Structure 1
Amino acid sequence: MKIVIAGGSGFIGKALTNTLLKKGHEVVILSRKEKKTNGKISYVKWLGSNDFPENEIVHADAFINLAGVSINEGRWTAQHQKEIYVSRMTATDELLRILCVLPTKPSVLVNASAIGIYPVSNTAVYTEKSKEIATDFLAKTVHDWEKKAAQIEAEGVRVAFVRFGVVLGNGGGALPLMVLPYRLFVGGTVGSGEQWMSWVHVQDVARAIAFAVEKPALSGPINVTSPFPMRMKSFGKTIGLVLHRPHWFPVPSILMKLALGQKSALVLKGQHVLPEVLTNNGFEFLFPTLDLALEDLLKRNE
């Protein structure tokens, strides 16, 4: 298939591009910068006042939207939160404009999302059937992002929302920051330790997105998390075991809040989320358990 990716140069986008190429697909990356075609990857400039990417995309089988300012970078000041929100809305508006003017519509739009749409809880278990929606900044961003992307359904395009958990990888995301204290022999439980960590290996994220593209029956929310989430205390202990480092230095919630501000909620609070749609449709995780994921990611760097 010919697959167009918005946000293809980011942490998840790079992993996704590699996965799609290995599966034999042709990839078009929407980029703010001029780049030359490289093998089966071509680049089309977009989001500039004089950019009309629809003129260069003659036909595409699928669009994938990962575009937006990373939630993992920078402190969540009011300005940064605005950039996170506005970047997603702006990019999706432009993507919808492109899709609407294309004479031949793609069969599917896979739009990035996040499990942050679900309320924080130490007891609830969330699947795609869960209707509860949180009211904080991240949940509002995710809800509005999904609602906007869903507008293209009126044009006959199937839409799937891939709700990412905490994505683990070496090229970005939360893992490098979480691992650093253990490498320095000061790793330990963050906050109460009872909060849930619904995590997923970046390779499984890329494979799940490709799965959503290739399976015509999939639409609506798709939780992209490991089938075996863990509480933070166990998560930290597993990092220590894999790295052969002690797990003993507790990190009080107040220190995380001082260091990260509102973004501390990403590690101090969590949700128990299960990937029911993926597992019910036959998706097989390469790294279903945390020890397998960490062995792959951390041992590779030693």
Structure 2
Amino acid sequence: MKIVIAGGSGFIGRYLTDILLGEGHQIVILTRKAMQHSADVSYVKWLEDGALPEKEIKYADVFINLAGVSINDGRWNANHQKQIYDSRMKATDELVRIIEALPEKPSVLINASAIGIYPASVNALYTENSLETANDFLGKTIRDWENKAKKVETHSIRAVFMRFGVVLGNEGGALPLMALPYKLFAGGTVGSGEQWVSWVHVKDVVQAIVFAIENDNLRGPVNVTTPTPVKMKDFGKTIGSVLHRPHWLHVPSFAMKIALGQKSALVLEGQHVVPKVLKEEGFAFQFPTLHLALEDLLTHK
């Protein structure tokens, strides 16, 4: 298949591109940088004045949208929040425009999303059927993001919103910062420790995307989280166990709020989310437990 990826050079995009190339697919990566084509990957300029990516793409079977400024980088001041929001809205609007301009439409749009659409809660359990949505910055961003991507459905295109949990990997995401205190023998519970961490290994993320491409039953929201989320205190204890480091130094909530501002909500609050749709469709997680995932990421080089 010919697969167009926006955000193909990012943390998840790099893993995904390698997997899709290994399966023999032709990849088109939308980029703002001048890149040299290879035998199986071509790079097409977009989001610049005068750029008309549809002229070079011509047709595609699948579009995947992973584009957007990372929520993990930088402090959440007003300017950074605007960049996070605007980058997602602009990229999704442009993808929809490109798809509408193509004479032959793709069969599916896989659009990144996040479990931050669900309200933070210690007691609630969220599935794709849950209708509650958060009213904070992330909740609004994700809601608007999904609504923009949903527009392709008017062209009879299947739209899948992959609601990623806390993605664990060595080259990006939250894990390097979460593991660092333990490597320095200063690890411990962050905040109350009762907040949920609905995590997922990056390898399972990319396999879930491939699964969504191939499975016509998947449409709408799809939670991409492990079936076994844990409390923050247990997440920390497992890092300590895998690294053979102590779990002892408590980091109070007020210290995280001083250090990170509004961004502290990413570690002080959480959602208990399960992948109901993926489980019902028979998706098999390679790393279903946290200990397995952290052993792979923290001990295998």
The separation in 2 between residues aligned to 1:23 and 1:243, in whole angstroms, is: 34
Q: For residue 265 of structure 1, what is the aligned residue in structure 2? A: 265
The amino acid across from 2:142 in the alignment is V
The separation in 2 between residues aligned to 1:32 and 1:300, in whole angstroms, is: 34
Q: CA deviation at 1:19?
A: 1.4
Q: Deviations over 1:17-37 (max 9, x none)?
A: 111112221111000011111
The amino acid across from 1:129 in the alignment is N
The separation in 1 between residues aligned to 2:143 and 2:2, in whole angstroms, is: 28
Q: For residue 278 of structure 1, what is the aligned residue in structure 2? A: 278
The amino acid across from 1:106 in the alignment is P
Q: For residue 185 of structure 2, what is the aligned residue in structure 1? A: 185
The amino acid across from 2:273 in the alignment is V
The amino acid across from 2:257 in the alignment is K
Secondary structure of the 1:60 match is coil
Q: For residue 118 of structure 1, what is the aligned residue in structure 2? A: 118
The amino acid across from 2:85 in the alignment is Y
The separation in 2 between residues aligned to 1:190 and 1:116, in whole angstroms, is: 19
2:46 equivalent to 1:80: no
Q: For residue 21 of structure 1, what is the aligned residue in structure 2? A: 21
The separation in 1 between residues aligned to 2:39 and 2:267, in whole angstroms, is: 40
Secondary structure of the 2:57 match is coil
Q: For residue 159 of structure 2, what is the aligned residue in structure 1? A: 159
Q: CA deviation at 1:254?
A: 0.8
How many residue pairs get aligned? The number is 301
Q: CA deviation at 1:39?
A: 2.8
The amino acid across from 2:245 in the alignment is R
Secondary structure of the 1:212 match is helix
The amino acid across from 1:201 in the alignment is H
The amino acid across from 2:114 in the alignment is A
Secondary structure of the 1:56 match is helix
Q: TM-score, normalized by length of structure 2?
A: 0.99
The amino acid across from 1:73 in the alignment is D
* Higher alpha-carbon deviation: 292-301 or 99-108: 292-301
Q: For residue 220 of structure 1, what is the aligned residue in structure 2? A: 220
Percent of aligned pairs with the same residue? Answer: 67
2:176 equivalent to 1:176: yes
Q: CA deviation at 1:186?
A: 0.4
Q: CA deviation at 1:300?
A: 2.2
The separation in 1 between residues aligned to 2:285 and 2:22, in whole angstroms, is: 17
Secondary structure of the 1:242 match is helix
Q: For residue 51 of structure 2, what is the aligned residue in structure 1? A: 51
The amino acid across from 1:40 in the alignment is D
Q: For residue 36 of structure 1, what is the aligned residue in structure 2? A: 36
The separation in 2 between residues aligned to 1:154 and 1:219, in whole angstroms, is: 14
Q: For residue 64 of structure 1, what is the aligned residue in structure 2? A: 64
The amino acid across from 1:193 in the alignment is G
The amino acid across from 2:15 in the alignment is A
Q: For residue 202 of structure 1, what is the aligned residue in structure 2? A: 202
Q: For residue 243 of structure 2, what is the aligned residue in structure 1? A: 243
The amino acid across from 2:179 in the alignment is V
Q: TM-score, normalized by length of structure 1?
A: 0.99
Secondary structure of the 1:37 match is coil
Q: Deviations over 1:190-236 (max 9, x none)?
A: 00000000000001111111111111111000000011000000000
The separation in 2 between residues aligned to 1:97 and 1:128, in whole angstroms, is: 27
The amino acid across from 1:276 in the alignment is K
The separation in 2 between residues aligned to 1:140 and 1:67, in whole angstroms, is: 17
Secondary structure of the 1:55 match is helix
The separation in 2 between residues aligned to 1:284 and 1:21, in whole angstroms, is: 21
The separation in 2 between residues aligned to 1:9 and 1:64, in whole angstroms, is: 12
The amino acid across from 1:79 in the alignment is N
The separation in 2 between residues aligned to 1:34 and 1:59, in whole angstroms, is: 21
The separation in 2 between residues aligned to 1:226 and 1:18, in whole angstroms, is: 22
The amino acid across from 1:288 in the alignment is P
The separation in 2 between residues aligned to 1:97 and 1:222, in whole angstroms, is: 24
Secondary structure of the 1:63 match is strand
The separation in 2 between residues aligned to 1:38 and 1:139, in whole angstroms, is: 39
Q: Deviations over 1:171-197 (max 9, x none)?
A: 011000000000000000000000000
Q: For residue 297 of structure 1, what is the aligned residue in structure 2? A: 297
